Structure 1
């Protein structure tokens, strides 16, 4: 989820914790718990600082080890140690419990979008992405704001946020059901499909689709239970040819391939350079595919420039490559 949603979830967990009389009746503990849940709801995303290095490192590692099984326990211990260092009289067991709940909730909700997490590391490095909830979901965010408003006008925090979370359980269940409907519809139309990639959009009635058959890739959209097709590409596995093999040694392309499950590739001669381009098909927006990886090589297969990440125009992409092709 986006940072704002994680923040409001941290705040709501702090309010939910007041259902416990031990917390509600303590003059200090509610503040400590609120701090713990807010930090816990953000902690797994501290790896965002990897963007300061480069996109390849960020894409390969974001939502990786910081969202892993060991991290579920390490983050709460660090958060609790920090809070207890400033307020040693606080109930550290309850602070630890609620910081743990906040961290687990963060990782859990991230699993439901199309980016996913490596939540099973070190058991498995597989990306778990259920593709049910958009990165920013207006209903989740604004339902929290509504609950905060009720709290501000005098509603009891614990019962208010308990009802909110029951509502969210129903909402997630409904979204799972809706995605399954889209998946089944696509498979009815393409009984030979080997994979159907369904990604949510910000609209409830709209889903992005990539349907892979043994020979073709269909890029489509499901809107109001009707599937509209946009593009159709030949499904060509990555060939074992020298230029592709050389490009795959580049960290940017390697990061892209470690993350993207469905893409198309092309090799194009551009003057003295050869350009190898991979395009993720899941994120089509206004006729454009913004998530790409590009490697430019000389005739001797020396890499001169590369990039991976989100770009929304060819002009911007060429500026990022910082190479003038002839």
Structure 2
């Protein structure tokens, strides 16, 4: 999730467990700890693909964060002891602030390596957009309430209530994901489309409208599914350029991207380069992670040894309004194929 939400979550967790004794300082301590796992963004891993796929790696490992919680607890008890609460309570607080950060990240589409150093694929439950106001607002209200009215000597009810509300909402997003995939798979069965790789994620800033991707060889389908739809979703077939993947057989960056994304990739030949796009993130036609992985010299293709992230458009308010309108109205259908084709012109 975004850094502001992670800071709010950390502050709320710490306030609910230690706010009675630490007062407003609990909000500050929790906010700082809550953003700690994301400090790996300052590390240069070598090139753009490495930076993307190693982010949310060791710093988001449950094992590493548990060991870090032990170390921070020992340091706090050694140099800043407080007789009002036990070391066990302090450890539990620090551990929860750190671990809730990475678990929340796993609910987004990016991919979080919770089990590092095991080389299992990143976990991406992809049931919330990276910015979700409905999740963040209860936490914000709790933090503002604690900052204004104080927490010292009080039973911290506001933070606890906010955590319950935001967690229940988070759980409800999994139901939306199930709904979107089930309705899409019914349409696939009716049209004789074999079930391949299916990936679903909410559209920007909401969990009412879902974007479902079905990888089908050299092509892929996209569908938009809203909780409020009366009719079955429309599957839009879009060229994926899957045949170009063979050119990247010797590219370690391509192998890394396939592992990281589960193969939800699109390939485009643009001029003398092969562009690879992570379809999971962003919105149709607006994907933030695109990389030129190979270039042609005469008739031969060769992998690009140092890969840079290609500039990507972020969309505009007019399209965001169209997406918002699609939540409530199934018609007119959004021009997904037209939007997807714009990737070739960017």
Q: TM-score range by the shorter chain?
A: 0.7 to 0.9
| Contact kept in structure 1, 2:15 and 2:30, CA below 8 Å | no
Q: Which runs of 5+ in 1 are unaligned?
A: 314-326
Q: Kindly report structure 1 stretches of 4+ aligned residues shifted beyond 6 Å.
A: none
Quote how far apart the aligned CAs of 1:303 are: 5.1
**Residue number in structure 1 paired with 2:12:** 12
Q: Distance in 2 between matches of 1:31 and 1:288?
A: 41
Alignment of 1:305-316 (within 5 A): 306-308=307-309, 311-312=312-313
Equivalent position of 2:2 in the other structure:
2
The 3 A distance-change label for structure 1 pair 157 and 38 is farther
Alignment of 1:141-180 (within 5 A): 141-151=136-146, 152-153=148-149, 158-180=156-178
The superposition leaves residues 3-53 of structure 1 with CA deviations (integer Å, 9 ceiling, x where unpaired) of: 1001111111122014xxxx73x5xx5577555533331222121112586
2:124 maps to 1:129: yes
Change (3 A) 1:39 1:125: farther
Change in 2 beyond 3 A, CA 1:111/1:14: same
* SS of structure 1 residue aligned to 2:249: helix
User: Quick one: structure 1 residues 298 and 80, their matched pair in 2 at CA, closer, same or farther if it must change by over 3 Å?
Assistant: farther
Query: Aligned partners of 1:78 and 1:35: how far apart in 2?
Result: 19
Cα distance in structure 1, aligned partners of 2:64 and 2:150: 37
TM-score (structure 1 length as normaliser): 0.78
Which one scores higher on RCO, CA 8 angstroms, separation ≥ 6? 2
What SS class does the counterpart of residue 308 from structure 2 fall into? strand
Quick check: 1:73 aligned with 2:66?
yes
Tell me the secondary structure at the aligned position of residue 60 of structure 1: helix
Q: 2 CA distance for matches of 1:116 and 1:61?
A: 10
Rate the CA distance shift 1:17–1:195 in 2: closer, same or farther, 3 A.
same
* Secondary structure of the corresponding residue to residue 199 of structure 1: strand
Residue 260 of structure 1 corresponds to 261
Which structure has more strand as a fraction of its residues?
A: 1
Structure 2: gaps (5+ residues):
315-346
Structure 1 CA distance for aligned equivalents of residues 107 and 58 of structure 2: 18
Which residue pairs with 2:210 in the alignment? 207
Q: TM-score, normalised by structure 2?
A: 0.74
**Alpha-carbon distance in structure 1 between the residues aligned to 2:158 and 2:287:** 42
Q: How many pairs are equivalent?
A: 297
Paired residue for 1:244? 248
Q: In the alignment, what sits opposite 2:279?
A: 281
Paired with 2:289 and 2:176, the residues of 1 have a C-alpha distance of 26
| Counterpart residue number, 1:44 | 37
Structure 1: distance between partners of 2:222 and 2:40: 32
For 2:310 and 2:17, locate their aligned partners in 1 and report how far apart those are by CA, in whole Å: 39
